[in-house]
A and B are shown apart, each in its own frame.
Chain A
Amino acid sequence: MAEIVRRPVLLGDDLWVDAVVGYRAWHVTIDRGVATMTAAVAKEWVWPKASPLKACCTPLEPIGRYLAARIGDHPAPRSGCKCGIWAFDSPDKVAEVFHDRVYLLGEVALWGKIKVHRLGYRAEYAQPIAVYEPSGTWPGRFWEAARIQASIVARQYEVPLVQRPAPEIILP
């Protein structure tokens, strides 16, 4: 488990939260200039713009449906289920699983009830707080299109477009 990173985040005019920072990947579509971020795995989940996403237990895959049916209705996240908003605990881990040639990577603020796992989190609330510039070294036109797409997402979701932190080097 990496060290838990915290960052203060404003939630409207009256509230703030010392949120846990998680690292995620999204699918991005841009239709007539409107960007939409959906979860990288559960693609039906649309992330709202500049407002929090609240978790609920609606498993889409067979194992999740089996677990949820066995436990019964419950608020997310719950122990013994897979529900909640998933995030890794380091930018390196998300980049190992999701290549930024296909996915947009970035950072989310997590709060509410949070299940801390060995490699990441399942949270009750989440909101993007930054998206990463595509780091690709593939041919220029593709890279440029990916970068433009990321900048449109950043503007419409009201988050900064930043460079992904350099990979951590662990000495033997």
Chain B
Amino acid sequence: MSGMNPSNVQIGEEERTIEVTPEPIPRERPAEAPVEAPQPDRVPAGV
């Protein structure tokens, strides 16, 4: 019957060992400063 004798809890025979390792959270690279778009050479009006 369920819940009757939890002090005799069994999880069965050991089968293998695994390692689960924490890893650093990947960080986004900091945004680079915006680069100004090159301005076209000004052309005098009327040319």
Instruction: Select the stretch in B11-19, B30-38, B39-47 that faces chain A.
Output: B11-19
Known: A16-B23, A122-B11. A116 touches B16 (CB 8 A): yes
Query: What residues of chain B lie closer than 8 Å to A10, measured between beta carbons?
Result: 25
> Is A150's CB within 8 Å of the partner chain B?
no
Inter-subunit contact A112/B19 (CB<8 Å): yes
The reply to whether B20 and A17 contact each other, CB–CB distance below 8 Å, is: yes
The interface bits of chain A over 43-73 (1 if a CB of B lies within 8 angstroms of the residue's CB, else 0) are 0000000000000000001000000000000
- Main SS of chain A's interface residues? strand
Contact with B along A85-121 (1 / 0, CB 8 A): 0101000000111110111000000111111111111
- Residues of B near A122 (CB, < 8 A) are 11, 14
Cβ-closest chain A residue relative to B7? A41
B22:A11 contact, CB within 8 angstroms: yes
Are A1 and B15 closer than 8 Å at their CB atoms?
Answer: yes
Interface residues on A, range: 35 or more
Q: Which residues of A contact B10 (CB under 8 A)?
A: 119
A15, B24: Cα distance in complex, Å: 4
Evaluate contact between A96 and B2: CB separation under 8 angstroms: yes
Chain A residues within an 8 Å CB radius of B19: 112-114
Residues of A within 8 Å of B20, CB to CB, are 17-20, 110-112, 114
Complex: how many Å from CA A49 to CA B13?
A: 31
Partner of B24, one of A14, A19, A88, A117: A14
- Within 8 Å by CB of B11, from A86, A95, A103, A110, lies A86
Show the binding face of B for A, using Cβ within 8 Å: 2-3, 6-7, 9-25
A contact residues vs B (CB 8 Å cutoff): 1, 10-11, 13-20, 25, 40-41, 61, 79, 86, 88, 95-99, 101-103, 110-122
18 residue pairs bridging A and B, Cβ less than 8 Å apart: A1-B15, A10-B25, A11-B22, A14-B25, A16-B23, A16-B25, A17-B22, A19-B20, A41-B7, A86-B9, A96-B2, A97-B2, A101-B3, A103-B3, A112-B21, A113-B19, A116-B17, A120-B12
Contacts beyond the supplied A16-B23, A96-B2, A119-B12: 14 A-B pairs with Cβ under 8 Å: A15-B23, A15-B25, A16-B25, A97-B3, A98-B2, A99-B3, A101-B3, A102-B3, A111-B22, A113-B17, A115-B17, A116-B18, A117-B13, A119-B10
